[in-house]
Amino acid sequence: MYIRCQSCGQLLYLPDDANGITVRCPACQTEFIYQAERDTANETREIPSEQSYTEAIEPEPDVEPLPEFATRESYHLPRNLILQPFSSWDALFTAYKLFSEHFGVLILFALLTALPGFVANRSIHAFVPELDNIQRTMAEKETFEQVLQAYREFSETIPPTAAMMIFAISLTSFTLSIFLLIGGIRLFNAYGRKQKASFWLTLSGFDSPERILFSCFLFFVLLSAASLVGSFILLPLAAVGLVPLGIMLFIFLFMFLLVFLFFVMPLIADSNLSSTKAFQLSFMIAKRNIASLFGTLALLSLMMMFINAFVITIFGSFFTYNAVNSIAQALYEPLLVGVISVAYLKATGQFRG
């Protein structure tokens, strides 16, 4: 017979005479005791047809009752996730639709997400006043080796005290951005579930800092490992004149890793999961949507390049390098958060648009 995991909704097979046994879900590692509702010892096991299996895993309308308003407390409850495929284009256009329906609130969110980076850059410029000129000089370099050389020369001119302050400011800005990312996902999740939500839900990410920071640490470790592996791929190819091939392999390696980490933050933001379970479940969801996730990352990358080119063309001659970056971030961040949230809701059968 087939039952569902009480935590993530995964379909599990048990013997017909199972009763009172401890079941461990291979997807989310949750353990629970199965109690049979009726005696099935003398019944013949019926192998489900393809149609009945599809009906078992397809979400039904309003399978999970939701309150009218989304609150901070509602994001600390376990959810019944039903895995299903989604389309990258659908996620992008749906995120735009939600943005247009809640334009005022999400403009405030865009300004809020750009604020930590803007303040951090202004603070760093206070320690390194010539940073704008140095950044422009690096942008004018023609080869990657020239950029690295200019960066090394610039790093040697920074006093140790200033370097420590720059690191502390950058780390603080990154941490605030992660907390706002969690709050933004919760806000978009509420809109995707047809719930009402206050703008202050964007600040709710600060309620579980230990799980979020530990997840970021795991992200950093995995990306660092990918960088190390990528360097072993890139350097030998560069030595024989195959730099473009090495860069393509390096980018593919990073995208492949990001595909399986794509749903970690939404899972932590949306339910009371530990970091390790969020990584495990993200891997499981990604396996069902590998092609769509590669397409989603490609679309997000293209949108980021388009937005940066647009902002530089329109505002580049009027504002500083720092201000132009902040404008680009304010335009891109809501789109990024919206696509992540919509993809998560659609891949787990929770979207109610």
Tens-place pLDDT, residues 176-220 = 888 888 999 999 999 998 888 888 888 888 887 888 888 888 877
What is the average per-residue pLDDT within 220-234?
A: 74
Name the 3-class secondary structure at 16. Answer: coil
Give the per-residue pLDDT at 313. Answer: 82
Q: How far is CA 72 from CA 183, 189, 198, in A?
A: 9, 12, 10
Instruction: Kindly state whether residue 289 falls inside one of the protein's structural domains.
Output: yes
Number of domains in the chain: 2
Q: Above pLDDT 70, what percent of the chain?
A: 70
Asked if 166 and 37 sit in the same domain, the reply is no
Domain of residue 21: give its range: 2-46
What is the average per-residue pLDDT within 222-251?
A: 71
Instruction: Kindly state whether residue 56 falls inside one of the protein's structural domains.
Output: no
Asked if 166 and 134 count as a contact pair (C-beta separation under 8 A), the reply is no
Asked if 41 and 110 sit in the same domain, the reply is no
Asked if 99 and 245 sit in the same domain, the reply is yes
Asked if 22 and 156 sit in the same domain, the reply is no
Asked if 186 and 296 sit in the same domain, the reply is yes
Instruction: Kindly state whether residue 63 falls inside one of the protein's structural domains.
Output: no
The pLDDT-based confidence of 162 (bands split at 50, 70, 90) is confident
Asked if 133 and 30 sit in the same domain, the reply is no
Q: How far is CA 217 from CA 79, 173, 251, 257, 276, in A?
A: 25, 15, 21, 15, 12
Torsion-angle region of residue 9: left (phi > 0), alpha (psi -120 to 50) or beta?
A: left
Is pLDDT larger for residue 189 or for residue 74?
189
Asked if 125 and 262 sit in the same domain, the reply is yes
Six token digits for residue 38: 């009726």
The helix (run of H) or strand (run of E) holding residue 146 is: helix 144-156
Give the per-residue pLDDT at 27. Answer: 66
Asked if 93 and 15 sit in the same domain, the reply is no
* Dist. CA 312–CA 29, nearest whole Å: 48
What is the average per-residue pLDDT within 307-333?
A: 78
- When mean pLDDT is compared across 1-5, 66-70, 166-170, the lowest value belongs to 1-5
Is pLDDT larger for residue 238 or for residue 295?
295
Helices 243-261 and 275-288 cross at an angle (nearest 10°) of: 110
Six token digits for residue 114: 């750009």
Give the per-residue pLDDT at 55. Answer: 43
Q: Report CA 173 to chain centroid distance, whole Å.
A: 18
- Looking at the DSSP assignment, which residues form a beta bridge with residue 3? 12
Q: Across the chain, how many H-helices and E-strands are there?
A: 12, 4
Q: Is the pTM of this model over 0.85?
A: no
* Dist. CA 72–CA 69, nearest whole Å: 10
Instruction: Kindly state whether residue 244 falls inside one of the protein's structural domains.
Output: yes
Instruction: Kindly state whether residue 39 falls inside one of the protein's structural domains.
Output: yes
